[in-house]
Amino acid sequence: MNLKPVLILLGLALATIFALVCVLLTRERSPGTCQSLPPEQEDTEDGQSLVFADLTAEEMSQVVRYLRGHLGVPLAEASRAEPWENCIAWLDVQVPAKAEVLRFLDSGGARPPREALAVLYFGQQPEPNITELVVGPLPGPAYHRDVTERKYGGRLPYHRRPTLAAEYKQIGAFLKSRVFPSAPAFMQQVMEYDGANLATVTAAPRGFQSGDRVTWFVLFQNVSGFFLHPVGLEVLVDHSSLDISQWAVRRVFYNGQYYRDMVQLESAYVQGRVSVEKVRRAPRDGDFSSMKPRAPAAAPFPLQFEPQGPRYRVRNNRVLFQGWSFAFGVSVSRGLRLFDIRHKGERVAYEISVQEALSVYGSNCPAGMSTRYMDGSFGLGRYTSPLVPGVDCPYLATFVDTVSLSDSLRPKKRKASLCIFEQNLGSPLRRHYSNLQSLYYGGLVNSALVLRSIATVGNYDYVWDFIFYQNGALEGKVQATGYPSSSFLHGDGLRYGNRLWEHTLGTIHTHFVNYKVDLDVGGVKNSLMAQDMEFEMAQAPWSPEQQIERPRLTRRVLDTEDQAAFLLHSKMPRYIYFAANSKNKWGHQRGYRIQITSSAGDHIPEASSMERAISWARYQLAVTRRKEEEPTSTSIYNQNDPWTPTVAFADFINNETLTNEDLVAWITAGFLHIPHSEDIPNTVTVGNSVGFLLRPYNYYDLDPSIYSQDGVFFTSEQDFTACEINPLACLPKTASCLPNFPPFTFDGFPNMSRSMSLKTVLILLGLALATIFALVCVLLTRERSPGTCQSLPPEQEDAEDGQSLVFADLTAEEMSQVVRYLRGHLGVPLAEASRAEPWENCIAWLDVQVPAKAEALRFLDSGGARPPREALAVLYFGQQPEPNITELVVGPLPGPAYHRDVTERKYGGRLPYHRRPVTGREYKQIDALIHGELKKAPLFLAACCDSDGTDLVTLTTAPRGFRSGDRVTWFVLFHNVAGTGYYLSPVGLEVLVDHGDLRASRWQLRKVFYNGRYFASTGELEQEFVAGALEVVRLKQPQADAVLGSMKPRRPPGPPAPLQFEPQGPRYRVRNNRVTFQGWSFAFGMNPNTGPRLFDIRYRGERIVYELSLQEALALYGSNCPGGMSTRYLDGSFGIGRFAYELVRGLDCPYTATYVDRHYLAETDAPKTNQNSLCIFEHDSALPLRRHFSDSRSFYYGGLRSSALVIRTISTLINYDYIWDFMFHTNGAVEVRVHATGYISSSFLHGRGTDYGNRVGPHTLGTMHIHHIHYKVDLDVDGQLNSLESQDMEYEFVKDPWSAQNTIERPHLRRERLEREDEAAFPLNAPLPRYLSFVSPNPNRWGHPCSYRIQVISFAGKHLPTNSSMERSVSWGRYQLAVTRRKEEEPTSTSVYNQNDPWTPTVAFADFINNETITNQDLVAWITVGFLHVPHAEDIPNTVTVGNSVGFFLRPYNYFSEEPSVDSPDSVYLSSEQDAGACGDNPLACLSSAATCAPRLPPFHFGGFLNLSLAPPLGGL
């Protein structure tokens, strides 16, 4: 059949389709598609950023043309070049010198000439060498200059050259044609070799000394994911000669034995002297290594869309977003890089770039033990892979092509190899909910810009992100996925990793990544500052006989490079920042802080002969003077000659001064990877993310995000459902449009045939005709299309029959029944707690009495009886001969008939009455006393505070005194301005109230403090003022618009941030207190004191955790004011769960989340409801959970989008707002996070106040403090009986097995079973084993104990000294992790009664650790996370969550036999043999139709201010 008429018919069909589509688009439809608005930020830059731009394809071609015509030597095509020939290895842009660029950018200087850097291999010379030439000017080059000697101090030896693809092909041909034929019987009978079924992977470096080019090649089955299919054969090839005919095999390794060559192996095999391990031949798709989906596609994951279009702008190589601007590019060797990074027009950094990615392996096979990959040598930019919309980046991201020239004379385009997008992170950047003094809510959603590339270097895929936040913070992050590298399992292989499959050893290795960060903070000249904390013991100024320990701020200028070089695992100052010469409004040097997140393994020993080549990895942070001759921390030539490194970073550090210089920070982040079953087929990104943050530190005068157009603020007096008051109320209308998801495209397989056969044309013609038919049907039947998104039922059926209700919180009706029972059966009067005097009896609070674990498990697992439902009632008995606190268990519910006193059983005795938490009624009475006393100083108040006292508010401190029995509290006074956070407006006045007597009439002021002085009473204060003996700081009454604590947005609203929606509804189910999602199920609840708690957490039906609960939140302050210096808040005493208020839809949680009410009864006889105070949603992480792109041997892409279920609540505890997150990932990992925001606490600035913090306002000191958070994790891994195992790495020096005159250092795995509680108690700031797991006695398929790993992420400050009189009450804070035997009598690590008597703690966690055995026992992990907070200008008005997030992971570790997400219906697989645009082959191709519906957003509602007048105040009066 003639092809021409068929093509004509196809063209006519396409034209018909176009016409029909036009008709469809012009017909009236509702709702309409989302329309883009232009971004607010105008780009006034006139192409200046092009000075940093990567070379264009045309420029590359011109450079090649110039070099071929002007060098006077022949240049071979690199892709076919012999080693002895000359060729162009690669090209890159030659970035001009910094001084030259800055003259152009900042001073109107001439544009620097545009030049290229060309790297040439000159093999065809008397002395073969590598030469670097600068060629310019572009686009029409006319000159070149050799810069090799200037850059490197001499010629570059030829043996250092990175290996070209052509050389690898030549080695492959050498093996196939000359090596394998010399062992025909072995290769045919053992390897089943057919000439194509084996693939090779190179090791590196190549030998033992400078000049060597001798490489081990590992043989694998040539199937999909071949990295996991070793066959046991490895060959050492000497390819140092430039004459390929001289190449030779130096050694052969098979299954633990070494042979001289293949001939010797063949001879031994024929004679029967070879121990053969026959490997089962894998199918072409790789079987267990295949990334093909195992489950059919289901409902699509949540998607984000931009209702009014992108809010960022991309122009050439420049991006603008919310005050940010920067230029981007990709280095061929080093990958992603940024230049001229500015925030609000000011340059923050000149350059931020990836430098190197290093992997050091251990194995008992020769290639594995000698491998130290320096991926820059292979090409982090060159191997930047095409990105798949919907997995690698959000579907609607902006995708950018990149061009490179390497191993070729022609440029190569990588389509869609960078992506840029705004990501709504689904949480607040900052927020505060005010229920004290004035009722308001303010906040800002955390929406950030992301620039991403993914480099596939061999087996690994590195996800490189730079993230730009609205508060001026910038994050650099790398996440690792792809295939693990493996060795053939033999002998003592398990010393070097875990068995992953029958013959596959996942080999232990380190990942180190190095960045260059050339910060220019307030100008080029900077200094390096360090701040940290220490505790000082001091006399209490108001009670000299008492000692008080308070944290103090230490400051240090790091003057020299040696001081600024922090070894990898040494302690680094918690705050380290580049400081400018200029100061902010409050007199502090403007700065940008560096905060590193890393869990790096050990660096290679410095005694190693190759260590200097990677000496950058000695340091987690090193700051040096910037020099043009030190542009990079390493060199691509170091890989093949690490023994005489071309660049040795250690030489950069030579003790030069750093004060007032142009400085560069070199940052190393990394992690230790011990591959395990769940790395099959791919390593996941969850938990494998490291990097750094750059955060403004007194750079601004307040948080710059206050000027964001996303700001939200409303008060109880406003109509917050009105769009003009609250932009969130606009969202249902703004978002009621059809997201425009274009058809899926992927052009990532460049080697695919582009020819079109007749069969293909006929298929396309058939599809076109079918499309015409479908469009006609739509036109005939459509009235309104498409409509709003419709929900489908979740895939996971919930077969549970109400069992989770055994853990359910009390209902409002149950609470009422308990109160009714108590009032009728105790035989004593019970006052209403909200009005009770201290001397009366009252019900303090109620909670569910969770049954004993054994009882609950009999019911859940063994068909036992349902445990009786009971309540725990806490009563204050003030009206007794010995006033006390009593705890009663009341049951059965719902109709209680009995109660029992459990106080003595739980606590070993009666609870003294002075330990009771302070009630709202007590605070009101204290407030009345204070304001009565203030009337005694009217003249002073008028002068100091422009006040008569009625507009001053008080804030409690805690604990209350110095010894057991004290109830003496400092109260701090602030100016109160309606609708603002008064916490930032101290007036300098503080009063000490003794409220220990049960009769409020006997309470009194013990001391008064003002501006550094102490007085006996307000009367004495007044007398001193009248006598002129008092230094008064005169404060004017602050105005609402100017007060520091105002959260009102400074700009009108703009287009909304991206919104998340679920095209076919939620994929999770909430039923009563139970949630199910993608194999997960759990019960949730809320303790009124300690907050959120989860029970019976199961994955795929198996219980992993019995209980996961928050225990306590500690904030410990330092100050030179009495209130600040004596404050150690134990927030559980105030009520973490009780004060979890209503969440604001669209800011605190995604708009379409599921919201749940919580009931509580505290200090009242009637239950209260916190509406919508808990939210549940599936969060799209805009990141692959796992992925791999293959464009060698076979062409395919496999990946899975990372999404997780989140359950969240937010507690507002006086000034702070804690965001509590529990996340459930689809790979079986649980993540727990806490984010801190809200207002800082402050003191009045006087004297040496800045020893304890930073000035953040005219008279406001932001006081330094620590946040320590404690969790209980009752893991039941494959049953209740578990043990604790640690795994870590260490290096061993061994004789090289194939070259005995040489030694090699290799990492090996150190396993240890921790037998006793003392061994399992890890001090707070001590090193923790990098892998710490709860292990089951039962093995997985490969013989490893089923286990779950605990991975902690924390930046904790120092713990209170153990000689402190109150330390035992917070002794859980001694340990970052402690594992103990589970006991019913040790249910919590602390007590609500510890706050008011920390000197005789009701519960002392230190007593839990008594060296009991923890082998095969029911165990509990107690985890502490935290951070040091030194408040600074950017904490005004609120602390932001960015950088203030800590937590931990629970990750499966050999628990499964392979990564469980392989069964996810979200999996994507594309190959060169499939049609990536076909919905049947690729579920992403379905999105453009599945997501063509308008999200259904309900009208905005907020009821959080309705019943607050009934809630007692929390310390602020």
The yes-or-no answer on residue 1131 being catalytic is: yes
Cα-based distances in Å from 648 to 653, 654, 1450: 10, 12, 39
Range 1108-1146 burial, b when 16+ CB lie within 10 A, else e: bbbbbbbbbbbbbbbbbbbbbbbbbbbbbbbbbbbbbbb
Active-site residue (options: 809, 1131, 1148, 1221): 1131
Joined together, the tokens standing for residue 184 give 């025909």
Residue 120, CA atoms < 13 Å, CB-side half-sphere? 29
Measure the CA–CA gap between 1148 and 1141, rounded to whole angstroms.
11
The number of angstroms, rounded, from the C-alpha of 1151 to the middle of its chain's C-alpha atoms is 22
Q: Which residues pair with 218 in a beta bridge?
A: 201, 234
Measure the CA–CA gap between 478 and 476, rounded to whole angstroms.
7
Helix axes 3-26, 758-781, angle to 10 degrees: 20
Count of residues making up the chain: 1517
The number of beta carbons lying within 10 Å of the beta carbon of residue 283 is: 10
Cα-based distances in Å from 1039 to 947, 978, 985, 1043, 1049: 13, 10, 11, 6, 16
Q: Strand 440-457 to strand 412-434: parallel, antiparallel, or no bridges (unpaired)?
A: antiparallel
The number of beta carbons lying within 10 Å of the beta carbon of residue 655 is: 12
Is residue 538 a contact partner of residue 548, using CB atoms and an 8 Å limit? yes
The DSSP line for 246-278 is G-EEEEEEETTEEESSHHHHHHHHHTT-S---P
Measure the CA–CA gap between 1205 and 1063, rounded to whole angstroms.
16
The DSSP line for 1092-1157 is EEEEEEEETTEEEEEEEEEEEEEEEE--SSHHHHT-EEEHHHH-TTTTB-PPPBTTTB-TTSEEEE
Q: Which residues pair with 1149 in a beta bridge?
A: 1145
**How would you class 805 by CB atoms within 10 Å of its CB: exposed for 0-12, middle for 13-18, buried for 19 or more?**
middle
Active-site residue (options: 1216, 1218, 1239, 1271): 1216
CB-based contacts of 11: which residues, under 8 Å, 6+ apart?
none
Residue 797, CA atoms < 13 Å, CB-side half-sphere? 2
The yes-or-no answer on residue 407 being catalytic is: no
Cα-based distances in Å from 215 to 63, 247, 250, 487, 964: 33, 11, 9, 16, 72
The DSSP line for 374-442 is EHHHH-TTTTBPPPPBTTTB-TT-EEEEEEEEESSSS-EEEEEEEEEEEEEEEEEEEEEEE-SSS-EEE
Cα-based distances in Å from 838 to 684, 912, 1397: 56, 13, 17
How many helical (H) and strand (E) elements, i.e. helices and strands, does the chain have?
A: 20, 70
Measure the CA–CA gap between 446 and 1148, rounded to whole angstroms.
10
Cα-based distances in Å from 1121 to 971, 988, 1012, 1118, 1263: 11, 9, 7, 9, 10
Measure the CA–CA gap between 442 and 429, rounded to whole angstroms.
11
Q: Which of 1481, 1480, 1466, 1474 is nearest to 1200 (CA)?
A: 1466
Q: Which residues pair with 1225 in a beta bridge?
A: 1204
Catalytic residue annotation:
1131, 1216
